[in-house]
Amino acid sequence: MQKIKIFDSTLRDGAQAEGISFSAEDKLAVVQYLDNFGVDYIEGGNPASNPKDCEFFERAKQLELKTSKLVAFTSTHKVGGDPSKDMSLNAVLQAGTEYVSVFGKSWDIHVTEILNATLEQNLDIIQSTINYLTKKGKKVFFDAEHYFDGYKANPEYALKTLEVAKNAGAVALVLCDTNGATFPFETEETVKRVVELFGDLEIGIHTHNDIGLAVANAISAVRSGATHVQGTCGGFGERCGNMDLCTLIPNLQIKLGYSCVPQENIELLTNTALSIAEAANIGLDPRTPYVGASAFAHKGGMHSDAVIKQPTSYEHIPPEMVGNSRRVLMSEVAGRSAIMLALQAVDPHIDRNSEKTKKVLSKLKELEHGGYEFEGAEASLEVLISKQLGKFRPHFELGKFNVVIHEPTEDKISCVASVKIRVDGEDEMTAAEGEGPVNALDIAIRRALGVFYPEIKKMSLSDYKVRVLGSKDGTASKVRVLITSTNGKKSWRTVGVSADIIEASWLALADSVEYFLSAVR
């Protein structure tokens, strides 16, 4: 099986999508998901563009990755500048990655009209940027921006930029369809020519989806000899997005016989996609191929009947192969194998067909129907399973709480929460002020619990996300709150669902504290 190198740009090009703003914390989590899945390269960001990316690369130095190599991104240095004094290049060197992506212009009118440089000057800065980084020991990928439009307009010049990059020491030449409007038959011809001329290097393809053909173009490039493919998980990216690796990888590996990630990891695909979408705080379109919630959902009566009789009748692969699951609408069935894994984590000897298993499955089904989603909330799932298997020993009970919010205020303190909790039959009532109701409630609960469990001070909340489920009910819609907590070494995620955002937050907070007290401290 021919190996195709997978280059993930979710954290760089994906972050240019409308509505996405990754924190350094989010980025570190995404790197772990991608490394577990087994992609070859992870582009972490542009360290010169903002302090968050700097912080990310600094903290990423502590990561021990199994499969993936981190890549820092930069552009060619300024026309007439000195690479050794260039702020962006130095930021990239400080990022400390073995690999660097350098993007440069390959479309002549972009050189003259956007960069305001001569064609020769552009070749010079490609040369000196790559040469400088190579001499510093970096492995450099050259991203030829607008390559396809450039090749149409002035093929000699476009090819010349690649030749210069190669001679300067680039280890891969990446052809970018930056405006995303190339057709597969054009991609084929263009890539074949590059492979003929520069096939001794790794030839990469980077496509965008502006005319709905990003995946088709990447496949066309691979069939024409490209061996390195760039995209993002979920297809996030500027405008209509980048090529979706979660569609491309199974297409190449399951259908066309190429090797992209370790074969046993293909079933992690859906979970990887959902976890990354969660980190991005963007809901994955349910219709997303392979990994969407509707990808194997059958609605038409004829379809549903046939698919139960003979799955291949309306399914191109068994959904479990990519970690997804069949849904016959109106009778939802959760991904049983995934749930079995979680069950076995709590009770290693549990039987697939036992009454206990059935009880957990039916509880999960009920909660999922009510808007719960345990994909990005492993700690809540573990607490839930422990409860259902009778292995849960609660560390506290909530008596009651009351929160009052008032505006205007003289200071920032607009809320007061009072709570009553019970531990081993002993009540503790306390109150706290806070900047907002969740904060006031959080402080009050910790204060009350701290009387019994002083170690609670070690845990803190590191992220808090809210998604409205459905839109028809406006502000009365159910909301799903996802909380990420940390003790500085380990992070865990919990979920709560309610029409009341305070109650949903409370549920997620309670799971987080229980998980900390039972599994982490």
Chain positions 451 to 510 lying near its own copies, rule: CB under 8 A, are 460-468, 470-472, 474-477, 479, 498-503, 506
Q: Which stretch binds its own copies (CB under 8 A): 175-183, 258-266, 271-279, 339-347?
A: 175-183
Q: Are the CB atoms for 246 and 291 separated by under 8 Å?
A: yes
Which of residues 16, 36, 67, 154 is near its own copies by CB under 8 A?
16
Q: How far is the CB of 210 from its own copies (least distance, A)?
A: 5
Which residues are CB-neighbours of 111 under 8 A, at least 6 positions away?
Answer: 105, 117, 118, 119, 121, 122
Q: Residues of 234-253 as b/e, b for ≥16 C-beta within 10 angstroms?
A: bbbbbeebbbbbbbbbbbbb
Q: Are the CB atoms for 379 and 516 separated by under 8 Å?
A: no
Q: Which of residues 262-281 bind its own copies (CB under 8 A)?
A: 281
Say how many CA atoms lie within 13 Å of 28 toward its Cβ: 19
Residue 206 interacting with its own copies (CB under 8 A)? no
Q: Extract the tokens encoding 123.
A: 């070749």
Q: How far is the CB of 167 from its own copies (least distance, A)?
A: 26
Question: Which residue, 97 or 304, is less far from its own copies as judged by CB?
Answer: 304
Residue 257 interacting with its own copies (CB under 8 A)? no
Residue 347 interacting with its own copies (CB under 8 A)? no
Which of residues 19, 80, 390, 425 is near its own copies by CB under 8 A?
19
Q: Which of residues 72-111 bind its own copies (CB under 8 A)?
A: 110
Q: Which stretch binds its own copies (CB under 8 A): 260-268, 313-321, 340-348, 360-368?
A: 313-321
Question: Which residue, 131 or 323, is less far from its own copies as judged by CB?
Answer: 323
Q: Whole-angstrom Cα distance, residue 240 to residue 237?
A: 7
Q: Whole-angstrom Cα distance, residue 207 to residue 355?
A: 50
Say how many CA atoms lie within 13 Å of 26 toward its Cβ: 24
Q: How far is the CB of 460 from its own copies (least distance, A)?
A: 5
Question: Which residue, 25 or 35, is less far from its own copies as judged by CB?
Answer: 25
Q: Residues of 326-364 as b/e, b for ≥16 C-beta within 10 angstroms?
A: bbbeeeeeebeebbbebbeebbeebeeeeeebeebbeeb
Question: Which residue, 1 or 114, is less far from its own copies as judged by CB?
Answer: 114
Which of residues 4, 11, 17, 266 is near its own copies by CB under 8 A?
17
Q: Which stretch binds its own copies (CB under 8 A): 34-42, 78-86, 154-162, 396-404?
A: 396-404
Q: Whole-angstrom Cα distance, residue 15 to residue 35?
A: 18
- What DSSP string runs through 132-189? HHHHTT-EEEEEEETHHHHHHH-HHHHHHHHHHHHHTT-SEEEEEETT----HHHHHH
Q: Which stretch binds its own copies (CB under 8 A): 34-42, 60-68, 129-137, 435-443?
A: 435-443
Which residues are CB-neighbours of 366 under 8 A, at least 6 positions away?
Answer: none
Residue 412 interacting with its own copies (CB under 8 A)? yes
Residue 323 interacting with its own copies (CB under 8 A)? no
Q: Extract the tokens encoding 345.
A: 């984590």
Which of residues 66, 137, 156, 309 is near its own copies by CB under 8 A?
309
Phi, psi (degrees; rounded to nearest 5) at 383: -60, -45
Radius of gyration of the chain (CA): 26
Which of residues 171, 183, 342, 422 is near its own copies by CB under 8 A?
183
Q: How far is the CB of 179 from its own copies (least distance, A)?
A: 4
Residue 314 interacting with its own copies (CB under 8 A)? yes
Q: How far is the CB of 356 from its own copies (least distance, A)?
A: 28
Cross-strand pairs, 89: none
Size of the site for its own copies (CB under 8 A): 121
Which of residues 3, 239, 359, 391 is near its own copies by CB under 8 A?
239
Residue 150 interacting with its own copies (CB under 8 A)? no
Cβ-in-10-Å burial (0-12, 13-18, 19+) of 19 comes to exposed
Q: How far is the CB of 285 from its own copies (least distance, A)?
A: 5
Question: Which residue, 201 or 444, is less far from its own copies as judged by CB?
Answer: 444
Q: How many CB atoms lie within 10 A of CB 142?
A: 30
